[in-house]
Chains A and B, each alone.
Chain A
Amino acid sequence: MIRSIRRLAVVFGILMVAILGNLTYIQFVTAAQVRTQPGNSRVLLEEYSRQRGPILLGSTAIASSIPTNDQLRYLRQYSNGPLYAPATGFYSVVYGATGIERTENSVLSGSDDRFFVDRVQQLFAGRGVKGGAVRLTLDPKAQAAAYQGLAGRTGAVVAIDPRTGAILALVSSPSFDPNLLSSHNPSQIRKAYDAYNADPAQPMLNRPLAMTLPPGSTFKLVTAAAALESGKYTPSTEVPGPAELPLPNSTRSLKNWSGTACGPGGKTTLQNALAVSCNTAFASIGMSLGADALQAQAEKFGFNNSFTVPLRAATSRFPSGLDQAQTAMAAIGQFDVTASALQMAMVGAGIANNGQVMSPYLVAQTLSPELEVLQNAEPTPFAQAMTPANSAALLSMMVSVVDQGTGSNAKISGVSVGGKTGTAQTAPGKPPHAWFVGVAPATPGQAQVAVAVVLQNGGGAAEISGNKLAAPIARAVMEAVLGR
């Protein structure tokens, strides 16, 4: 019997190996993918059992976690929810996380690999494991000014520091309250979420980043840049500016808002064409430069590129393969040209920063749970869109827009301000989008802020709406940044 018992022992040995092998497969080989399946509520419980780190502006927390008595041990609170919602996003038990809460989750939740040592220390010190903090680039005053300016309207504001690409303001209106979506009451969360979703004003749409609209006359900045960069134009070059420009291969013609010519004899200078926002002038400049030159210039400013700031911004478009008529329309920011507020702010920033466009970013610093700096944002150039000389010329053209042209409402006393208005036509019968792009102070390489304001279907019927509605908001934001 001894032999058969020995054999049986071998069989048990094999069974043991099978069990241990299978456990190794489950707990080691495939563990990571199994435990992250949505059916595993541990992931959520664990995340909520750690104190999530705050989202900071300077030293003020705009999102922080406070201890509670329920099973999810920490509640996420937003001190000024709707104001910062486009940046922070929400942190929901039901719908997951969005915004910075999502993109910086590994730091905020404390699961980032860089925290390994902290976690071990906290474990041995018997302290609860905490998450790290994220400091944003937003300027509270600029943010508040933009939000106040947009109050009651539908639109977006983005302000950028032209020298670095740091985003100073990121505002959407109307906005939503992330507190309502980040509570611990699933039915309340669902109710709020459904209500926001059903709202025709789309309060959860991240307008400054995710909404792209025809940029209208603000795109003339890009066309002007292309003209200067071509070497065939200077600000004083004489350009055609008739009251009406017939479009090639089309029965339609293109008119100026005023219905009159932009200068005596249907001629004007490039500088004056920008100042009075002359459609026929820029359409004909666009046609003579060609669609490819416009596209190349637009792409140097960031069109047809996607940016993660680290929130993903919608790609602004300049279509390719345009015919002459389409090129004429595209040159004044119509046809299929679309841009986000972020993109138009980048155009202004590039012109103000000696032609160098910086990649936009929203996270200034990531910090450990003890608020030691883990990583500082490093400003990185995106592209050299223009030569410094040309950008300086264009910048002074922008100043004349504000000083003598259509952008008069952006004036700040004692500071030179550059800008460009825009009014983009949409579907017939619908009010146009009012745009304004501004930079201040308008000193090459020393501008502290570039701002883009867009009011969705917000304008009246005329070119003046960009100046009337959008420019004051841009001025308020620029004043806030400059400390005026």
Chain B
Amino acid sequence: MSAPSSTTAPPADVPRYRQPTRRGAEGGLLVAAFVVGSAAYLQIDLAVLGHIDAGSFPALLAVAALLLVLHVSVRVLAKYADPIIVPVVATLNLLGLAMIHRLDLAEAVRAQRNGTPVPAPDVNTQLTWTMLGVLLFVAVLVVVRDHKVLQRYTYTSLFVGVVLLLLPLAPWIGATVNGATLWVRVAGLSFQPGEIAKILLTIFFAGYLTVKRDSLAFVRTKVLGVELPRGRDLGPLFVAWFVSLGILVFEKDLGTSLLFFGLFVSLLYVATQRRSWLVLGAVLFILGATFAYFAFGHVRLRVDVWLHPFGDEAGNSYQIAQSLYGFASGGMFGSGLGQGFPQLVPYAKSDFIIAAFGEELGLIGLMAMLVLYGVIVERGLRTAIACRDVFGTLLAAGLSISLGLQVFVVVGGVSRLIPLTGLTTPFLAQGGSSLVANWIAIGLLMRVSDTARRPDTDVVALEDAPTQVVPR
């Protein structure tokens, strides 16, 4: 049995099997993303203003350039990566820009009516952040040529991640916005370090579980006839639990807290295949949630408002009530872009942007957008399955899970499926930190995907090739 080594070229008469890269498909989908995004943008102009805004064509030109950069960089740097993820992300990002532009116009119209100065459009800032995000996406592909390198930085990631998480609590630079201490302000620029910490901690979880998964999975002690992990193996779970509670207590950020804990427990389950971790996680979650409900007024308030959205419409439940009015007014088909009143919902550009889409695109449009998120998560989990190394699998799974959880928590929150938390909608909502961090996460996912789908060698077509040993 002579397996062809990577250095041996197959015989010239044997047709070569070439792993398809699907870059052409990706290019086509990016064009579709551009068409959808710019159609939305222009429709908004026409609906609100009756003519195309002077800033719209330059903005769309910049967007087209960005899409070209994305396409070329993936073609060069991650040739075999998944062809669907980037176009879907780009579509969402463009729709987010369009909606922020739409709300800018609403503010401008209002300012003109009241005779007050027209505020600077937020869409420009968001476009700048998009550019930075795409740039960092490319940078990730350039710097991280092989995702396995990241495993070396398992504990560095933990350290930096925790520091970033704690940064908003630091004196001088930390800042509290709307009750949550999530922000760092340096030299007039504000940033949410928690967004980057999310990625670093995902890397840490993946690295840590790659090493520890066997002992976490198989070493058990029996307590009263029930098989349980050893006490020392339980340690990390409790650490994650306490860190999550800490975020909740000190930074008052329900969403991030929930996201971290959910991510860690899910990854534990993926790594060990043991459902007992899920059960343990659920028990701890219930304990923590109960504790938080009784210990903190702001958590109790969130739950009250969740149960009675129209109870205190003039006060605490104003936001959620307005959000529900937005959804309900949109109905099945929506008012059409630029033809509703999404500006009536507070924080329509950021926390409640989903309500804005629900109102103007209706149930049908919103469902389509949520399916786009579903596609990203599905492609991410597929990447995790296809990946041949444990670290890569856990990393890809972790990045996908955190995106999926985040979308669930946000959309569930603004539509009153679950209590409202303070997470941003990935790629749609206004906010640079989140946008940049999510583009970095997509960069990493594309890297893992590229590695997973890249053929080890130029293999000959199966029926023509001699039996070979598949390297593992």
Question: CB distance B358 to A5 under 8 Å?
Answer: no
- Is A250 part of the contact surface with B, judged by Cβ < 8 Å? no
Q: For residues 26 through 45 of chain A, which have their beta carbon under 8 Å from a beta carbon of chain B?
A: 26-28, 30-32, 34-35, 37, 39-42, 45
Question: CB distance B374 to A12 under 8 Å?
Answer: yes
Question: CB distance B412 to A34 under 8 Å?
Answer: no
Question: CB distance B401 to A8 under 8 Å?
Answer: yes
Question: CB distance B412 to A19 under 8 Å?
Answer: yes
A34's contact among B113, B325, B362, by CB below 8 Å, is which? Answer: B325
- Is B378 part of the contact surface with A, judged by Cβ < 8 Å? yes
Q: How far is the CA of A2 from the CA of B381 in the complex (A)?
A: 9
The stretch of B69-77, B174-182, B265-273 that contacts the partner chain: B265-273
Q: How far is the CA of A26 from the CA of B332 in the complex (A)?
A: 10
Q: For residues 134 through 153 of chain A, which have their beta carbon under 8 Å from a beta carbon of chain B?
A: none
- Is A69 part of the contact surface with B, judged by Cβ < 8 Å? yes
Question: CB distance B404 to A71 under 8 Å?
Answer: no
Chain A residues whose C-beta falls within 8 Å of the C-beta of B385 in the assembled complex: 2, 5-6
- Is B324 part of the contact surface with A, judged by Cβ < 8 Å? yes
**Chain B interface main SS type:** helix
Least CB distance, B418 to chain A, in whole angstroms: 9
A39's contact among B313, B390, B401, by CB below 8 Å, is which? Answer: B313
Least CB distance, A322 to chain B, in whole angstroms: 51
Q: How large is the interface on B (under 10, 10 to 19, 20 to 34, 35 or more residues)?
A: 35 or more
- Is A415 part of the contact surface with B, judged by Cβ < 8 Å? no
Chain A residues whose C-beta falls within 8 Å of the C-beta of B358 in the assembled complex: 23, 27
Question: CB distance A20 to B328 under 8 Å?
Answer: no
Chain B residues whose C-beta falls within 8 Å of the C-beta of A37 in the assembled complex: 310, 325
Question: CB distance A8 to B270 under 8 Å?
Answer: yes
Least CB distance, B358 to chain A, in whole angstroms: 6
Q: How far is the CA of A16 from the CA of B269 in the complex (A)?
A: 20
Question: CB distance B324 to A26 under 8 Å?
Answer: yes
- Is A113 part of the contact surface with B, judged by Cβ < 8 Å? no
Question: CB distance A69 to B366 under 8 Å?
Answer: no
Chain B residues whose C-beta falls within 8 Å of the C-beta of A35 in the assembled complex: 325, 328-329, 331
B330's contact among A5, A27, A39, by CB below 8 Å, is which? Answer: A27
Question: CB distance A26 to B328 under 8 Å?
Answer: yes
- Is A9 part of the contact surface with B, judged by Cβ < 8 Å? yes
Q: How far is the CA of A35 from the CA of B110 in the complex (A)?
A: 23
Question: CB distance B416 to A1 under 8 Å?
Answer: no
Q: Mark B415-458, 1 if CB is under 8 A from A, else 0.
A: 11100000000000000000000000000000000000000000
Q: How far is the CA of A28 from the CA of B328 in the complex (A)?
A: 7
Chain A residues whose C-beta falls within 8 Å of the C-beta of B417 in the assembled complex: 18-19, 22
- Is B38 part of the contact surface with A, judged by Cβ < 8 Å? no
Least CB distance, B285 to chain A, in whole angstroms: 14
Question: CB distance A71 to B329 under 8 Å?
Answer: no
B328's contact among A16, A31, A71, by CB below 8 Å, is which? Answer: A31
Question: CB distance B393 to A1 under 8 Å?
Answer: yes
Chain B CB within 10 A, most for which of A13, A23, A70: A23
Chain B residues whose C-beta falls within 8 Å of the C-beta of A5 in the assembled complex: 270, 381, 384-385, 393, 397
Q: How far is the CA of A35 from the CA of B329 in the complex (A)?
A: 5
Chain A residues whose C-beta falls within 8 Å of the C-beta of B381 in the assembled complex: 5, 8-9, 12
Given contact pairs A12-B404, A40-B329, A23 touches B415 in the complex (Cβ within 8 A): yes
Chain B CB within 10 A, most for which of A6, A15, A69: A15
Chain A residues whose C-beta falls within 8 Å of the C-beta of B271 in the assembled complex: 1
Least CB distance, B122 to chain A, in whole angstroms: 21
- Is A252 part of the contact surface with B, judged by Cβ < 8 Å? no
Q: Mark A66-91, 1 if CB is under 8 A from B, else 0.
A: 00011100000000000000000000
Q: How far is the CA of A23 from the CA of B324 in the complex (A)?
A: 10
Least CB distance, A87 to chain B, in whole angstroms: 32
In the complex, which residue of chain A has the Cβ closest to the Cβ of B359?
A42
Question: CB distance A26 to B327 under 8 Å?
Answer: yes
Chain B residues whose C-beta falls within 8 Å of the C-beta of A71 in the assembled complex: 110, 113
Question: CB distance B415 to A19 under 8 Å?
Answer: yes
Chain B residues whose C-beta falls within 8 Å of the C-beta of A40 in the assembled complex: 325, 328-329
- Is B150 part of the contact surface with A, judged by Cβ < 8 Å? no
Q: How far is the CA of A22 from the CA of B412 in the complex (A)?
A: 8
Given contact pairs A8-B381, A22-B415, A22-B417, A27 touches B328 in the complex (Cβ within 8 A): yes
- Is B370 part of the contact surface with A, judged by Cβ < 8 Å? yes
A30's contact among B328, B363, B408, by CB below 8 Å, is which? Answer: B328
- Is B340 part of the contact surface with A, judged by Cβ < 8 Å? yes
Chain A residues whose C-beta falls within 8 Å of the C-beta of B408 in the assembled complex: 12, 15-16, 19
Question: CB distance A16 to B362 under 8 Å?
Answer: no
- Is B321 part of the contact surface with A, judged by Cβ < 8 Å? yes
Question: CB distance A27 to B397 under 8 Å?
Answer: no
Q: For residues 198 through 250 of chain A, which have their beta carbon under 8 Å from a beta carbon of chain B?
A: none
Chain B residues whose C-beta falls within 8 Å of the C-beta of A42 in the assembled complex: 325, 329, 340-341, 344
Least CB distance, A46 to chain B, in whole angstroms: 8
- Is B411 part of the contact surface with A, judged by Cβ < 8 Å? yes
- Is B138 part of the contact surface with A, judged by Cβ < 8 Å? no
Chain A residues whose C-beta falls within 8 Å of the C-beta of B332 in the assembled complex: 27-28, 31
Q: How far is the CA of A24 from the CA of B417 in the complex (A)?
A: 12
Least CB distance, A126 to chain B, in whole angstroms: 9
- Is B29 part of the contact surface with A, judged by Cβ < 8 Å? no
Chain A residues whose C-beta falls within 8 Å of the C-beta of B324 in the assembled complex: 26, 34
Sample (22) of A-B pairs whose CB atoms are under 8 Å apart: A1-B397, A4-B269, A5-B384, A8-B381, A12-B377, A12-B381, A15-B404, A18-B412, A20-B370, A22-B416, A23-B363, A26-B324, A26-B415, A27-B330, A28-B331, A28-B332, A31-B331, A34-B328, A35-B328, A37-B310, A41-B341, A70-B113
- Given A3-B273, A9-B377, A20-B370, output 19 extra A-B contacts at Cβ < 8 Å: A1-B270, A1-B273, A1-B393, A6-B385, A8-B270, A12-B374, A12-B377, A12-B381, A18-B417, A22-B412, A22-B417, A26-B327, A27-B363, A34-B328, A39-B322, A40-B328, A42-B341, A46-B341, A71-B113
Which A-B residue pairs are the 5 nearest by beta carbons? A34-B328, A35-B328, A27-B363, A40-B325, A22-B417
